[in-house]
Structure 1
Amino acid sequence: MTDAAAVIETRGLTKRYRGGHTAVDRLDLRVPAGSVFGFLGPNGSGKTTTIRLLLGLLAPTSGTATVLGAPMPRASRAVLPRVGALIEGPALYGYLSGRDNLVRYDSADPSADPRTRRARVAGALDRVGLGAAAARKAKTYSLGMKQRLGLAAALLQPRSLLVLDEPTNGLDPQGMREIRTLIRELAADGTTVFLSSHLLDEIEQVCTHAAVMNRGALIAQGSVAELAARTRGRLSVTGPDPADAARVLKEHGITDLAVTEDRVTGEVPADAELADINAALVRAGVRVRAFGQERASLEDAFVALTGEGFDVAG
């Protein structure tokens, strides 16, 4: 990950709380400029604490964090106006309309130009699909609409970096697609997007790079394609004899077998040779129409790296 300037970079970043609990442990993270960067990990892995450290909301125990080329939290006043953030859901005034919530947010920003406030608020609402609901009180919004409004607040001004924590929480499938499209558009315009999510398929669809945290430590980072390529995909055998194929595959060490009407898939041991397995099927007289290894997914890589399952359905 040295082919682009870093928008976020940490060196030995550590956060240790009283009592000895280490939430983030010697983190060396690098987020390339212009990337859509997925930040992954099980609950309690240190993702939210890391985000708080990056935004200057927490002070590190040791190590350093640089955001947009400046040290955090020391340079917070200079950096944060260039950063849009939606962390752990938006804080809204329920008695105010969606539009007036954004006006209130913008008024609190000393770098915001009051002469363009109304136009920018209207543009941010339209961009997240809330233009028609702008006059409604926020307390009447659904969870998904509140998420959209929080995202609109992050987009009130042009941002060099957008930090999003579970941005599609509460959205229906159509809303999730719209937010993914918006993230791609922002990246195409030059905004670096740092995205924490529990939806691995979402990360795989929209992100160019990713990092995996586990128990406070960074265990892998790189392009999404590189992370997936580290893991062997499942073996897939298609043909009219799936039961016979499953028997032969099991005899040759293939595990986690899944059998359908005409297809068998399974996990291949690291020392197995696919050519030998194919030859064994032929010797056993198993009829095979297709044989090969599927491309590993980001979910496969995550499970291989952490040894834990992950909620991919939301």
Structure 2
Amino acid sequence: MQQPPAAADVVIETRGLAKRYRGTLAVDGLDLRVPRGSVFGFLGPNGSGKTTTIRMLMGLIAPTAGSARVLGRPMPDAVRTVLPKVGALIEGPALYGFLSGRDNLLRYDAADPTADPRTRRARVGAALDRVGLTAAGGKKAKAYSLGMKQRLGLAAALLQPRELLVLDEPTNGLDPQGMREIRSLVRELAAEGTTVFLSSHLLDEIEQVCTHAAVMARGRLLTQGPVADLSAGTRGRLAVTTPDPADAARVLAGHGVTGLHTEAGRVTGDLPATDPPDLADLNAALVTAGVRVRAFGQERASLEDAFVALTGEGFDVAG
């Protein structure tokens, strides 16, 4: 069994953290541990309590119960000590629409008492370049697309070196190329020693970029740990590629395979949880029945498979 990280190696820790709004429990008894140096994915459908949790961690709202420590200090009591070491993009950036992107960043930087004014313009220029907004830096923020505003908010979080970067849905509004660029940037920041706490409802985003993850649903924490371990105990789906999908589905159903789905010459299904058939015997049964098998095997379980196994329901990415 994997040992939990020592306190010095944890940048975020909550115990029994809860938030209630007018009788509704938005976050329910959250025990979270984020290892230092990780890219930690905070995963759950929209409305699962992710943003409420982040707002408590950043000292923006007080918890109803429980406690939170960020960089070893209690929040919200130590907010003035902690926040200068944290970059954050929560619920989209707050921007002055009448100012250019560059002037918005200059305002952000000027509000930081630790920022050296002599190097302010150089910092702003470097942040714009890092998120791909150098060419648009002179354009007024009200003319920015949603994706450009997200990039500018991320640039604001990167004006100073940070021990911890907290990103709430950072790829919201970005096109596929922009999403890839932000993921690449997150990896670069982690390689430089910044711990990244990334909230998302996109399963593939977490799998592609994160080293660790926690899964939330309906305000409760379902599981947490290294991404590779979260789905390790979940059975992957059986997949058969064949030009005879109807016959293949019939044979598989006869051997106890359930949840069969056919699409574009590919049949997938779930093996029985108890006494599953041997895969070699199943393949032989398909061939004996005259099914032309082009590919056959059990796919690696994904985070989506793990989520379904934990909750018994699908992951509603539309929220």
TM range (shorter): over 0.9
1:291 and 2:296 are equivalent in the alignment = yes
Q: Where do 1:251-262 residues align within 5 Å? A: 251-260=254-263, 262=265
TM-score (norm 2): 0.92
Question: Quick one: which amino acid aligns to residue 221 of structure 2?
Answer: L
Determine if contact 1:199/1:311 at 8 Å carries over to the other structure: no
Which whole-Å CA distance do the structure 2 matches of 1:250 and 1:289 have between them?
A: 19
Question: Quick one: which amino acid aligns to residue 217 of structure 1?
Answer: R
* Ranges in structure 1 where 5+ consecutive residues have no aligned partner: none
1:227 and 2:227 are equivalent in the alignment = no
- For residue 197 of structure 1, the aligned residue among 200, 211, 231 is 200
Matched with 1:11 is: 15
Matched with 1:69 is: 72
1:33 and 2:14 are equivalent in the alignment = no
Matched with 1:301 is: 306
Q: CA deviation at 1:158?
A: 0.3
Q: CA deviation at 1:237?
A: 2.2
Q: CA deviation at 1:31?
A: 0.6
1:214 and 2:220 are equivalent in the alignment = no
Determine if contact 1:34/1:191 at 8 Å carries over to the other structure: yes
SS state at 1:253 partner: coil
* Ranges in structure 2 where 5+ consecutive residues have no aligned partner: none
Which whole-Å CA distance do the structure 2 matches of 1:7 and 1:257 have between them?
A: 43
Q: How many residues align?
A: 313
Determine if contact 2:46/2:318 at 8 Å carries over to the other structure: no
Question: Quick one: which amino acid aligns to residue 308 of structure 2?
Answer: V
Q: CA deviation at 1:292?
A: 1.7
Which whole-Å CA distance do the structure 2 matches of 1:132 and 1:311 have between them?
A: 37
Q: Deviations over 1:293-314 (max 9, x none)?
A: 1011112222222333335589
Which whole-Å CA distance do the structure 2 matches of 1:218 and 1:234 have between them?
A: 25
Which whole-Å CA distance do the structure 1 matches of 2:263 and 2:142 have between them?
A: 48
Q: CA deviation at 1:271?
A: 1.4
Q: CA deviation at 1:236?
A: 1.3
Which whole-Å CA distance do the structure 1 matches of 2:16 and 2:253 have between them?
A: 45
SS state at 2:135 partner: helix
Matched with 2:122 is: 119
1:184 and 2:187 are equivalent in the alignment = yes
More off after superposition, 269-278 vs 49-58: 269-278
Q: CA deviation at 1:170?
A: 1.0
Which whole-Å CA distance do the structure 2 matches of 1:117 and 1:306 have between them?
A: 49
Question: Quick one: which amino acid aligns to residue 296 of structure 1?
Answer: A
Which whole-Å CA distance do the structure 2 matches of 1:42 and 1:312 have between them?
A: 6
SS state at 1:66 partner: strand
Matched with 1:2 is: 4
Determine if contact 1:47/1:213 at 8 Å carries over to the other structure: yes
SS state at 1:264 partner: strand
Determine if contact 2:237/2:268 at 8 Å carries over to the other structure: yes
Which whole-Å CA distance do the structure 2 matches of 1:206 and 1:200 have between them?
A: 10
Q: Where do 1:109-148 residues align within 5 Å? A: 109-148=112-151
More off after superposition, 271-280 vs 101-110: 271-280
More off after superposition, 80-89 vs 233-242: 233-242
Which whole-Å CA distance do the structure 2 matches of 1:292 and 1:2 have between them?
A: 34
CA change 1:152–1:12 in 2 (3 A) is same
Which whole-Å CA distance do the structure 2 matches of 1:15 and 1:261 have between them?
A: 46
SS state at 2:82 partner: helix
Determine if contact 2:255/2:277 at 8 Å carries over to the other structure: no
Of all paired residues, the percent bearing the same amino acid is 79
Q: Deviations over 1:68-102 (max 9, x none)?
A: 11111111110000000000110100000101000
Question: Quick one: which amino acid aligns to residue 221 of structure 1?
Answer: Q
More off after superposition, 124-133 vs 292-301: 292-301
Question: Quick one: which amino acid aligns to residue 39 of structure 2?
Answer: V
